[in-house]
Structure 1
Amino acid sequence: MSARAAAGSKERVIAGFWTVARTGACLRRCALTRKPLPHLLYFTDPVRTPDPEAVAGRLPRGSAIVYRTFGAADAEAVALRLKAIARRRGLKLLIGADEALAARVGADGVHLPERSAAQAARIGARRPNWLITAAAHSPRAARAPVDAVVVSAIFPSNSPSAGRPLGAMRLAQIVRLGGPPVYALGGVNQATAARLLATGVVGIAGVEVFLSSPLAKRRGER
């Protein structure tokens, strides 16, 4: 790839990041929720975003990190570093599917897989100040007793686990069912973000869309 082509590719990635960030902020302003909710959720992935601390250091204030450990031996150390970044940058930290780890590192809550969403009520009773979210891949799952659900996949996605895309129209129907606030996950980028504005979702979730942003370089922060 030529230097000119590489520069153009980087500019497109950065433009995509800010399109998603602005859309997420707009969605959050338009939503009425029981608890203050982040407008963006960054889901860590050891393959697709192998340096979660670098990505976390680029997130806009008011976003959240969802740290998924996938059994990593150094999960607690990574979580503590992410918590420090979150505190410094005005972010929230959720731990994926591990209440004990979330408590040890002083996280702001947990994100549960769809199969574990029934645990939310018990966790919430023990930790009423936590933010509890859960994955949802169907209208029924989107009514889980949590603070917010993350519905996927909305658009075609690079995730190996992504199913058939629901599309913006189906997403809007799920939102109208009246369950907890909904985040859109899967294939959200510069080209698709604007299609979420009329769906009623509270914000945007993603993985690779947060890989590049000029924010950290401009502020000199990690």
Structure 2
Amino acid sequence: MRGRKTLPERWLFTDERQGAALWHALDRLPRGSGVVFRHYGAANRAALLRKVRAAARRRGLLLVAAEAETLTMRIPQHANRYRRRPGALTASAHGVPDLIRAKRNGAALAFLSPVFPTASHPGARTLGAVRFGLMLRQARLGQGERRMRVGALGGMSERAFARMKAVGATAWGAIDALSKMETTGRRPKSAAKPARR
């Protein structure tokens, strides 16, 4: 029996603030990265989602679309191989009860936030690395293939993720850190060479 496919480590979260930078970010994401489509307030959300879906398919990215009310993600057909069991592919969490609920609902990956200060939620109380790790232990996320993965969100970057791995994070998501690559000229290290199939 084939095992569950590993979810991406790096996730771009879309936001109305990105403007045209969204398309540059999608072009620069390494193949196999994830994209969480939000743009909750966009009047043309459905049309924009179709364009993002086409870009993700062309670039080999895993795309999920967040629901504004529930912060759960619509599951694209091709994403079934990632799931622990029927239910949401990913979920949003801000504490231990949210993590437990996400696991109970069958999510394969929950994004716990905000880890560090972030422009999208100025002034919000942050978790920090130590509290993040404690929450993961308290939530009892399971073992092996049945374990729900947890991603770090809020003020994240590739460097910050290296630190968060030590406390149990298996993925990271960002808006600004992955949207500003086109202005800094930087490309993620894993994107320096084309991935071999």
Task: Specify if TM > 0.5.
Answer: yes
Counterpart in the other structure of 1:168: 129
Partner SS, residue 197 of structure 1? helix
The CA distance in 2 between the partners of 1:43 and 1:36, in whole Å, is 19
Summarize the Cα distance change of 1:150–1:54 in structure 2 as closer, same or farther, 3 Å threshold: same
Q: Which one of 11, 30, 34 corresponds to residue 60 of structure 1?
A: 30
Alpha-carbon shift at residue 190 of structure 1 (Å): 5.6
The CA distance in 2 between the partners of 1:162 and 1:34, in whole Å, is 38
1:50 aligns with 2:35: no
Tell which structure's C-alpha radius of gyration is larger.
Answer: 1
The CA distance in 2 between the partners of 1:188 and 1:154, in whole Å, is 8
Summarize the Cα distance change of 1:149–1:160 in structure 2 as closer, same or farther, 3 Å threshold: same
Summarize the Cα distance change of 1:157–1:69 in structure 2 as closer, same or farther, 3 Å threshold: closer
Counterpart in the other structure of 1:97: 67
1:136 aligns with 2:105: no
Alpha-carbon shift at residue 152 of structure 1 (Å): 0.4
* Gap runs ≥5 in structure 1: 1-32, 110-122, 126-130
**Contact 1:175–1:181, Cα closer than 8 Å, also in 2:** no
**Contact 2:56–2:63, Cα closer than 8 Å, also in 1:** yes
Counterpart in the other structure of 2:82: none
Partner SS, residue 55 of structure 1? helix
TM-score of the aligned structures, taking structure 2 as reference length: 0.71
Equivalent AA in structure 1 for residue 168 of structure 2:
G
Counterpart in the other structure of 1:113: none
Q: Over aligned residue pairs, what C-alpha RMSD do you find?
A: 3.3
**Contact 2:33–2:62, Cα closer than 8 Å, also in 1:** yes
Equivalent AA in structure 2 for residue 135 of structure 1:
S
Summarize the Cα distance change of 1:86–1:64 in structure 2 as closer, same or farther, 3 Å threshold: same
Q: Which runs of 4+ in 1 moved over 3 A?
A: 106-109, 213-216
Summarize the Cα distance change of 1:191–1:60 in structure 2 as closer, same or farther, 3 Å threshold: closer
Counterpart in the other structure of 1:209: 177
Counterpart in the other structure of 1:76: 46
* Gap runs ≥5 in structure 2: 80-84, 142-147
The CA distance in 2 between the partners of 1:161 and 1:95, in whole Å, is 24
